[in-house]
Chains A and B, each alone.
Chain A
């Protein structure tokens, strides 16, 4: 963490006991409060009213195709590294109705937009990689010529309370993509968890006001040092990495590499990787009549470059072989995105590695594909 970065934070200190009051502030302001909760042996975003619901001392052991929560003796509530989902499903719903129409007696059809009903929502414990992914999804869904109203409604209702990562999972590699482990931007309030409490600071005007209202003591030198030690430790725990973006662009020069077929033999084409990836945005639509026959609705649901239909045009399928689907995913994510969005689509969260049932690791795939092919960089 750079000196400038720390100076800009000017955090205040909040004891762990005050965290409930802090949560209550949002409830009083009318927010629904989401936080990390252990469910189905993973960390999930759920509505939390009390701090007791948060995972005390829970750390996540992650590896290729492996995720296990472990309790340690500390009192930390944010020591875990992310569960299967980032913020994506809260904004870009896995399935939703886009519009609905009714056939009227006079033969006219009445078409109605079906925007989601949302409550202002504050999310506690968002990570740096989640925010980087969110910024990319914002670009995709909002900064285009045709912004998405469904995504926008949910997005505008969000209040984000980020937290620095003080530990990394073995699958994390956000230092190499430049997206973590310390919070960069895009949050309303930032937090760093220390052994006995939190350093908190405003990241937006809204967030700053709330922090000012808490009248916290400014952080001491020792507390600032602990904060830095936390993210330094998280960074040092990472051992996976991706090459720089210029090198990643060369994946398009490797379309005929034999390694695609090796992965194609192992990959189940299950689409887990695209479902957990916080930046994947593909969807398909489904337009059908409802049971009464007089109404119809247009739905969209997440699609994936691993699905049968993604590359189908009637009888003709562009990517029948799994190797081609994996190639589509990796080349798009790491190279194609650069042309489309000005940066690679990977924020180094490692979810696709953790949640792949056969443990395929994109960092290894990239190393194998680019190995010996970097002579001209």
Chain B
């Protein structure tokens, strides 16, 4: 019987230091059969474990069509991610997954996509951006909006610069407290949203970041006329199992790991931002 607790060994094929605190791992299952049947959607995540150190939930950022490997981009946040950052090609990790529900890529076909990220991390949306860029003709305009507090918080600057050079992609960055050399906006990500000329008939927005930022962005998007069904977000909670069993990730009646981590705003509106959830 399939055991959802049991990890499969994967070997690091490549390691890229994206910025001082961020690195990417390209992984491949040791067992080729496991690699062959591994399928995922943008927004889904794996539970990544390091021998006897710990296990953490990490989004999959590679393209679902790349079937020979999969990528994770990880920010050093604490004990386990720090230990993972020291791994080199040839080293092994344990993988369970993929888990959760991904982004509404089918709903987004033929539509403009507004990607809003904030704070330090945007990994769950990296997969979306890559997915859109690789299938450029199937989607309308792509807006990538990122807000940070300090200029230095834009920890993956190079990546945003690369995206901004792509055709039909509008990258806008805002820093609340920018330094002198900051070439983009000063202010909040909501002000970036405000500058968009949204086509309300055919837009999907996807959000990821600190919940206060997402709440502000949602309020702004709704003010501009987007319906709740057009607003999607990815959430993070304490995850021990990843598949709806341990109970630790619950937000009201939702299991973030299984019902999410990507939610339509209407599904979590009652609890998002409510103290204690």
| Residues of chain A at the chain B interface (Cβ within 8 Å) | 98-99, 101, 103, 107-109, 111, 113, 140-141, 144-150, 152, 252, 255, 281-285, 287-290, 293, 295-296, 298, 300, 303, 305, 309-314, 318-319, 321, 324, 327-328, 331-332, 335-340
Q: Does B1 contact A (CB under 8 A)?
A: yes
B93, chain A: closest CB distance, angstroms: 10
A339 and B55 alpha carbons, distance in the complex (Å): 29
| Besides A145-B258, A338-B253, 12 new A-B residue pairs in contact (Cβ under 8 A), listed by A number | A109-B51, A146-B243, A283-B240, A283-B241, A285-B240, A285-B246, A293-B52, A303-B248, A312-B238, A324-B275, A332-B253, A340-B255
Q: For residue A109, which residues in chain B have a CB less than 8 angstroms away from its CB? A: 9, 51, 92, 94
Interface size of B as a range: 35 or more
Q: For residue A252, which residues in chain B have a CB less than 8 angstroms away from its CB? A: 252, 270
B245 touches A144 (CB 8 A): yes
Q: Which of B92, B243, B244, B247 contacts A283 (CB 8 A)?
A: B247
Q: For residue B276, which residues in chain A have a CB less than 8 angstroms away from its CB? A: 255, 318-319, 321, 324, 327-328
Between A and B, 18 residue pairs with Cβ closer than 8 Å are A101-B94, A111-B6, A111-B9, A113-B3, A113-B6, A146-B244, A255-B274, A282-B246, A283-B241, A285-B246, A287-B55, A300-B246, A303-B246, A311-B238, A332-B253, A336-B253, A339-B253, A340-B253
B277 touches A284 (CB 8 A): no
Q: Which chain B residues in 66-87 approach chain A with CB under 8 Å? A: 77-78
A212 and B92 alpha carbons, distance in the complex (Å): 58
The SS class assigned to the B binding surface is loop
The SS class assigned to the A binding surface is mixed
A296 touches B52 (CB 8 A): yes
Q: 0/1 per residue, B52-74, Cβ < 8 Å to A?
A: 11110000000000000000000
B236 touches A313 (CB 8 A): yes
Nearest-CB residue, chain B, relative to A249: B253
A149 touches B54 (CB 8 A): no
Q: Which of B248, B252, B277 contacts A310 (CB 8 A)?
A: B248
Nearest-CB residue, chain A, relative to B237: A313
A157, chain B: closest CB distance, angstroms: 15
Q: Does B234 contact A (CB under 8 A)?
A: no
Q: Which chain B residues in 225-273 approach chain A with CB under 8 Å? A: 236-238, 240-241, 243-248, 250, 252-253, 255, 258, 270
Residue of A144, A319, A327 with highest tally of chain B CB at under 10 A: A144
A268 and B245 alpha carbons, distance in the complex (Å): 26
B51 touches A284 (CB 8 A): no
Residue of B3, B244, B270 with highest tally of chain A CB at under 10 A: B3
B5 touches A98 (CB 8 A): yes
Q: For residue A141, which residues in chain B have a CB less than 8 angstroms away from its CB? A: 245
A357 and B131 alpha carbons, distance in the complex (Å): 55
Nearest-CB residue, chain A, relative to B1: A149
A227, chain B: closest CB distance, angstroms: 39
Q: Which of A145, A285, A331 contacts B55 (CB 8 A)?
A: A285
A287 touches B3 (CB 8 A): no
B5 touches A298 (CB 8 A): yes
B78 touches A283 (CB 8 A): no
CB-CB under 8 A for A289 and B52, given A146-B245, A252-B252: yes
B238 touches A313 (CB 8 A): yes
Q: Does B216 contact A (CB under 8 A)?
A: no
A99 touches B52 (CB 8 A): no
Q: For residue A284, which residues in chain B have a CB less than 8 angstroms away from its CB? A: 240, 246, 248
Nearest-CB residue, chain A, relative to B93: A109
Q: For residue B253, which residues in chain A have a CB less than 8 angstroms away from its CB? A: 332, 335-340
